[in-house]
Amino acid sequence: MTRLSLLALGLIALALALDQASAAAPSAQAQTPGLTPPVAVLTIEELRITPDVVVAGDPFMVAFKLWNRTEFFIEQLALTVKDLDADALLTSTTGVKTTYYNQPGRGILAAVELRLKYAGAAVGPRRLALGLEYIYYVGGQRVVGRQAETLAVQVAAPTPTRTATPTFTATATFTFTPSRTPSATPTRRPPPAPPTVNYPATQVVLLETVTAQARPTPPATPAPAPPPAPPRPLPARSALVIEFAGAPAVVAPGQIITMALVVRNIGSAEAEGVVARFDAAENALIPIGQSTQWFLGAIPPAAQIEAAGQFYVAGDGALGRARVTVEYDDVEGAHETTAEINIPIPTPTVAPAPTADSTSTPAPRGAPQPGEPWWRRLLRAIFGGGN
């Protein structure tokens, strides 16, 4: 075979190899799956709705804490609230339903307080949707995260306002009729002539002169004192009274007791956002199983809230103390009141050990023993002092 033919065969083999390589490359590339970026999910914690039953037409508050417990860096967070059944019935007291949080990071992202209000037609169970939209980066790739949380809200109808209907009473009408009709031309009569009296010559007429006395002047009646001015009405405000219920008479260090915190509103206005805080640094009775901050919600006038919990006796002094501070808001602003309970911790008493009397002298062996019968004394006297 000549060199020319060998060279032609080599070129043909090289072309076939390149053709197979170009055909295999796209199929291998098509079989490589694309990388799915990891998903960053935010968490909603410590969610509360105040009040528990929402009244149509009255504002209410949805509060929670938004956490980023992932390893990604969250940016450009937007929070949107809407009603899943009829969004037109839900309004925001601030005028907007979407809130933006531009401070990115990890851990807690925001403490959210949404102040909302339902229209009068939204009576019954409602569904609220909290939509979250944010941005994070994975391996230099920009990812848009979206998630939604659904809340259940019970909306009650507003209390109807009674309207007073005025009552009219008919009054009688009297007509005055004069009893005498004056004459048109009165007749003037001459005055009567004085009578003529003929006294005998021997009759003596005595005239008694009576001195006119002045009419006594009645004492002056003092003018009545003006009525006192009515007291000014006090402004409507709330007033909370704190009590501890179910506490034992005494406690011991290391003991776990159960007692309740009773908060009563004796004022004339509703107390909103009531929070009870226990002083864990100075208290000897510390709440366990829950935090030292209890959220009690709203307390209407003449109503009360009772919250029970377990407490650990950590002190070893003479008294077990639990001090609580209750903070709340009303129409006049923010207020706080404190109360405490002290439960005795008795100190155990140790009885002294009996000591032997070293000064007592034992009785002689032959001496009569107390309570000894007569026949044994007789034998002792006959045979000697042995037992």
The beta-strand segments (E) located in the chain are: 43-50, 54-55, 59-68, 75-83, 90-92, 98-101, 107-118, 124-138, 141-156, 240-245, 256-265, 271-278, 285-288, 293-299, 304-313, 319-330, 333-344
Phi, psi of 317 (to 5 degrees): -90, -155
For strands 141-156 and 54-55, give the pairing: parallel
Q: Within the chain, where are the H helices?
A: 3-31, 374-383
3-state helix, strand, coil in the chain (%, to 5): 10, 40, 50
| Residue 31 neighbours by CB distance under 10 Å | 7
Residue 32: the pLDDT is 40
What stretch(es) of the chain map to CATH 2.60.40.10?
43-156, 240-344
Taking a C-beta distance cutoff of 8 angstroms, is the pair 118, 90 a contact? yes
Fold classification of 240-344 (topology level): Immunoglobulin-like (2.60.40)
Taking a C-beta distance cutoff of 8 angstroms, is the pair 262, 306 a contact? yes
The whole model's pTM is what?
0.35
Taking a C-beta distance cutoff of 8 angstroms, is the pair 330, 272 a contact? yes
Alpha-carbon separation of residue 210 from 206, 213, 217 (angstroms): 13, 9, 21
Residue 72: the pLDDT is 86
Distance CA 263, CA 276 (A): 9
Fold classification of 43-156 (topology level): Immunoglobulin-like (2.60.40)
Residues of the chain with pLDDT under 70: 1-9, 11, 15-37, 103-104, 161-216, 231-235, 348-372, 374, 378, 381, 384-387
Q: Retrieve residue 290's tokens.
A: 């829950």
